[in-house]
Structure 1
């Protein structure tokens, strides 16, 4: 799988998410990094679709974490934007369900990496022409191998 992706439309962002879902398995952590409007939720919606989630995947900004259990693997979708630090993440007790779920965290850089031995970081950005980009950054040898084999 390519490490860098140009995503000219929301549909392209969804398609990347669906493609990534094929690589994901229980216990995986995906950390989404990027400014407002970069496509973090749209990518997560694509991941949800690829995992077979039938209910709407919406930003969990106000509830912080939402679990979608109706796919082939449960999807734990977290928005860490309002969390103050690692202690707040610990208070959520996310590690209680990360072993059986795919966990996708928006705004989680520097806060949630301790939830898994390795993870996939996806750096999203929005260019001046409103086109989004995604850079896949494997954190650990398992992710290096999965991306290379895809």
Structure 2
């Protein structure tokens, strides 16, 4: 069995960040959890917008910062959470999102990683320049056997 190690993809524009999210979408299945991290303005919501488009969602994706949770329906349901304002893992548990159908993407996911379990995909978006980003994929648990490194580069 091949194990997918962490890997990084450099994108040179916001459009490329969006496109990479769109390329990830077909690899997602019901029940998947993605934790998305990066500093303010890194492109987290833009990346989620690409995922949403790849899932057939036509509604515009906006940051869930003030509402905490947004849901969209396409080929799969997408639940988009902003954990920045959550008081930790207990508040995430109170939202009862882990058993919802579809895909769960959590921005600022490092704040709640300990409550997610071992099967998830960590994605970190690092600033390289005004427009360039390094997008680091770190598969955990069953994600390590999904070979996303062969599909995304």
TM-score (norm 1): 0.89
User: Is the CA contact 2:89–2:115 (under 8 Å) kept in the aligned structure 1?
Assistant: no
2:140 is the alignment partner of 1:136: no
Show the counterpart of 2:38: 34
Asked if residue 125 in structure 1 is aligned to residue 126 in structure 2, the reply is: yes
Q: How does 1:37-116 map to 2 (within 5 A)?
A: 37-69=41-73, 71-97=74-100, 100-116=101-117
1:28–1:116 contact (8 Å) kept in structure 2: no
CA contact (8 A) 2:68 2:81 kept: yes
Structure 1: unaligned runs, 5 residues or longer = none
* RMSD (CA atoms): 1.8
Q: CA deviation at 1:29?
A: 0.3
Aligned-pair distance for 1:132? 1.3
For 1:103 and 1:12, how far apart are their aligned partners in 2? 22
Query: What whole-Å deviation, never above 9, does each CA across 1:85-126 have from its counterpart, x for those lacking one?
Result: 1111111111231xx211100001141453354000001111
Report how far residue 50 of structure 1 moved.
0.4
Contact 1:77 1:104 in 2 (8 A): yes
- Is the contact made by 1:120 and 1:136 (CA closer than 8 Å) also made in structure 2? yes
Q: Which moved more, 1:116-125 or 1:104-113?
A: 104-113
